[in-house]
Structure 1
Amino acid sequence: MHCKSLSKIPDTINELIALKELFLNGSAVEELPLNHGSLTCLTDFSAGNCKCLKQVPSSIGGLISLLQLQLDSTPIESLPQEIRNLSFIRKLELMNCESLKFLPKSIVDMDTLHTLHLDGSNIEELPEDFGKLENLVLLGMNKCKMLKRLPNSFGDLKSLHHLFMQETLVAELPENFGNLSNLMVLKMLKKPLFRSSESDTQGTSKEPRFVEVPNSFSNLLLLEELDARSWGISGKIPDVLEKLSSLKILNLGNNYFHSLPSNLVGLSNLIELLLYDCRELKCLPPLPCKLEQLNLANCFSLESVSDLSELAILQDLNLTNCEKVDDIPGLEHLKALKRLYLSGCNSSCSLAVKKRLSKASLKMMRDLSLPGSRIPSWFSQGPVIFSAQPNKELRGVILAVVVALNHETGRDNQLPNVVEVQAQILKFDLKPKMFHTLNLCGVPRTSNDQLHIW
């Protein structure tokens, strides 16, 4: 591997009758000298990142024992039809093959295929009979930016567990998509839908492409993770979504829907609900009790939040820039809450929150941000003096920092860690025992002061 001057492999390699693994990654090999019927013991063949390899010979179909074939980041333009003869193949990797625009129709005959990676390739479509790959468990198509549609047979991939199709041009899912009865992870986020201005909550920099969730989605009963950010989902999310009782992570951020199902309690295993930048959402319905993370940042139209009293293990609550929310019912019962972000919220919400917060509810708190410029009275404990005392350990360090920022810095309302501000607790040998970098979450839309306590 990585023999960058090695451009040719001798034909005599075909005489290695016991060879099981062959790795040519990163070499300058221009062709694969494979004879039909040779290398009958070869199970693992990898030629990834061979930048001079433009063609795969038809004789590759003669590798009758091959289980894994890796051709990532090569300039190949096609695969031979004979690839169907790899009768034991389990894994095929074609990531970042930018010259590859089509898959051979014969690929559907590779019925032992378990894993197929096409991420970063330029394929424009999948074969119409793609659903015949009945043993396919994982399909990766992230950043296949020329892929516009899925074939109608796609719902026949009954063994599919993981589907990754982030940043493709696919606009709609086939109606039989819900037939993927074993699907557990579905990631199909698109690039963020940029809005025209911060003051215009309805505008977009370009006309949005509205889509609806297929009714058959309710059949994905084993689905544990769904990431559909920026899909342009509009209107009302259908109530059938509540049937997905196996869901653990649901990310619908940066979409156009105005309402969720009337009740989400049926999502009994949901741990994370991420609705960041859903600017048309007006109301948050009752939520399942196992929820640990709830992100509603930049939901500018949100007016009310359901009672959160039952969310006994909620750890993260983000309401940054939810300026129409006046109160957070049940906040005082969230004994496990570690992070609460209220930057950019209105003053009445801030007052209501302060009334609901108590010393008991603050015991677990790690991060707290809210409007204002004064340290709350319940936080101050007089001057901080440290003197070494026997049998008494240092329990914490308080740092005070002022950070000024303009809205160009916080474009897209995302902030990185402020790396210049770090806290360390050192042992006697000066080795860090604890290390933390200040993390500011969410950029407020207002110029008013915001307080962040960690």
Structure 2
Amino acid sequence: MGTEAIQGIAIDLMKVNDMSVDENVFCNLQNLRLLQLNHVKLGGGYDTAIRQVPSTIVKLKNLEDLSLCGCKGSTSTTLASHLRSWFLPPSPTNLLPLSFHGLDRLTTLSLRDCNLSDDALPRDLGSLRSLTNLELGRNSFRSLPASLSNLLRLTSLKLDDNERIETIPDLPRNLDVLQASNCTSLERLPDISLASRMRLLYIANCPKLIEAPGLDKSKSISHIDMQGCYNISNTLKNIIHKGCFPGLVLPGNEIPALFNYKNEGATISFKLPEFDGRILSGINVCIVCSSHLEKKETKRIRINLTNHTKGFTNTFQTVAINLVKSCEDHLWQGHLSNKVFKLGSEDEVELIVFCGNTMIVKKTGVYLVFEQDEAS
């Protein structure tokens, strides 16, 4: 069996320091579909190390999954390598070829922790027409190529731990998940509404973040994690609190003023007003809570809503993703659709929040969402 028959290679040398892989080993692997070289030192000839993945990688026409996580390239400290660097122009990137042209079947590209800086990504990034998953976390970008928005099949974009990134370009319209947590220099997100299918937005611990344009126009987002985003504007806070998001986390130790009903602890009782022709689409439930750090299990929130007027109880349950990693107070907010609870004018209601033993619920609030308010 020749090398042409090989369809997958996976090497992870995270705990190995003295092994390198020669760049020519992949030249004849025309049917290769998966190539994972995580934490691998890419070695060239003459006992030196190259700084770039060989440009011939684009000849792997069947390649679908390329992972170079932890591969930073390396330079030799030998005299020969220093002499060579004097006569050759410096590479514009630490690792990648100048172009991705030819990788038409690539669906997954993982470049986490590759020490990539501005201009390291090829400008034709948007030409990867089959790409669905892109991981660029823990690098040194300040910005990303504008061609990112051309990745029309991209559903998952991971930018976590890019401490220098300040802005993110327009998002691909079919993006489902954006992860940009721990981006400590990030000040502003792109227009979220342009990604009309986005469901999950993770931007925790971005202390300079102020705005998230288009969030009020998004009809698809189900979970938002803004834990540790202490600088978001009051305008953005109001948009969030009035929005019908199934689950979100953001900093805070008080129930927002706009909430109709508030109480200490995990239980709240209230009587609905006369609707006066308005239609109640649902209620937003907000809790002030903190976490037990020693509890590592998945945190779940269960809400029991009892309608004493009509004599029934319904339950709403959600997974509070990443809630809450610190002992500091945060707000969790969720939306309960009235299609399930069928609350009516002047109904007397009791709501109880259960978080098991993983979180402490300190305060609870309820905000009534009417269809007429959503349309305004």
Task: Quickly name the TM-score band, shorter chain normalised.
Answer: 0.5 to 0.7
Measured after TM superposition, the shift of residue 358 of structure 1 is 6.6
Residue of structure 2 equivalent to 1:159: 31
Measured after TM superposition, the shift of residue 403 of structure 1 is 2.6
Pick from 333, 338, 359 the counterpart of residue 453 of structure 1: 333
Matched position secondary structure for 2:150 = coil
Measured after TM superposition, the shift of residue 232 of structure 1 is 1.5
1:146-173 CA distance string (max 9 Å, x none): 5422432514322111123334344742
CA spacing shift, 1:453–1:422, aligned 2, 3 Å: closer
Separation in 1, partners of 2:111, 2:329: 34
Measured after TM superposition, the shift of residue 275 of structure 1 is 0.1
1:363-396 CA distance string (max 9 Å, x none): xx2321112112335555563479xxxxxxxx99
Whether contact under 8 Å (2:205, 2:226) holds in the other structure is yes
Separation in 2, partners of 1:358, 1:397: 8
Identity rate, percent: 27
Whether contact under 8 Å (2:171, 2:192) holds in the other structure is yes
CA spacing shift, 1:291–1:228, aligned 2, 3 Å: same
Separation in 2, partners of 1:136, 1:338: 41
Residue of structure 1 equivalent to 2:338: none
Separation in 2, partners of 1:175, 1:166: 18
Report the number of matched residues: 278
Instruction: Tell me the TM-score normalised to structure 2 length.
Output: 0.64
Separation in 2, partners of 1:379, 1:350: 18
The amino acid that maps onto 1:295 is Q
CA spacing shift, 1:405–1:234, aligned 2, 3 Å: farther
1:78-120 CA distance string (max 9 Å, x none): xxxxxxxxxxxxxxxxxxxxxxxxxxxxxxxx22xxxxxxxxx
Equivalence map 1:411-426=2 (5 Å):
416-418=296-298, 423=302
Separation in 2, partners of 1:176, 1:191: 18
CA spacing shift, 1:341–1:185, aligned 2, 3 Å: same
1:194-231 CA distance string (max 9 Å, x none): xxxxxxxxxxxxxxxx8232114333121111111111
Residue of structure 2 equivalent to 1:138: 8
Residue of structure 2 equivalent to 1:149: 21
Pick from 100, 108, 132 the counterpart of residue 225 of structure 1: 108
Instruction: Tell me the TM-score normalised to structure 1 length.
Output: 0.54
CA spacing shift, 1:280–1:246, aligned 2, 3 Å: same
The amino acid that maps onto 1:440 is N
Matched position secondary structure for 1:282 = coil
Matched position secondary structure for 2:104 = coil
Pick from 171, 175, 179 the counterpart of residue 55 of structure 2: 175
1:337-356 CA distance string (max 9 Å, x none): 11111122234x24122233
Separation in 1, partners of 2:155, 2:235: 26
CA spacing shift, 1:191–1:155, aligned 2, 3 Å: closer
Equivalence map 1:136-285=2 (5 Å):
136-143=6-13, 145=16, 147-170=19-42, 172-190=52-70, 211-236=94-119, 237-285=121-169
Whether contact under 8 Å (1:423, 1:435) holds in the other structure is yes
CA spacing shift, 1:332–1:400, aligned 2, 3 Å: closer
The amino acid that maps onto 2:35 is L
Residue of structure 1 equivalent to 2:184: 300
Residue of structure 2 equivalent to 1:328: 212
Measured after TM superposition, the shift of residue 140 of structure 1 is 2.4
Residue of structure 2 equivalent to 1:38: none
1:232-282 CA distance string (max 9 Å, x none): 112323322111121101011111122210232210100011000011112
Structure 1 residues without counterparts, runs of 5 or longer: 1-109, 112-132, 193-209, 387-394, 410-414, 426-432
Measured after TM superposition, the shift of residue 322 of structure 1 is 1.7
Matched position secondary structure for 2:118 = strand
Larger Rg: 1
Whether contact under 8 Å (1:440, 1:452) holds in the other structure is no
Structure 2 residues without counterparts, runs of 5 or longer: 43-50, 73-92, 263-267, 272-281, 305-314, 335-376
Matched position secondary structure for 1:139 = strand
Structure 2 residue 239 is matched with structure 1 residue 356: yes
Whether contact under 8 Å (2:32, 2:60) holds in the other structure is yes
* Higher RCO, 1 vs 2 (CA within 8 Å, ≥6 residues apart): 2
Residue of structure 1 equivalent to 2:361: none
Matched position secondary structure for 1:294 = strand
Matched position secondary structure for 1:369 = strand
Whether contact under 8 Å (1:417, 1:437) holds in the other structure is no
CA spacing shift, 1:307–1:277, aligned 2, 3 Å: same
Matched position secondary structure for 1:176 = helix
1:399-443 CA distance string (max 9 Å, x none): 96743567xx7xxxxx94456x67499xxxxxxx99766542575
Matched position secondary structure for 2:181 = coil
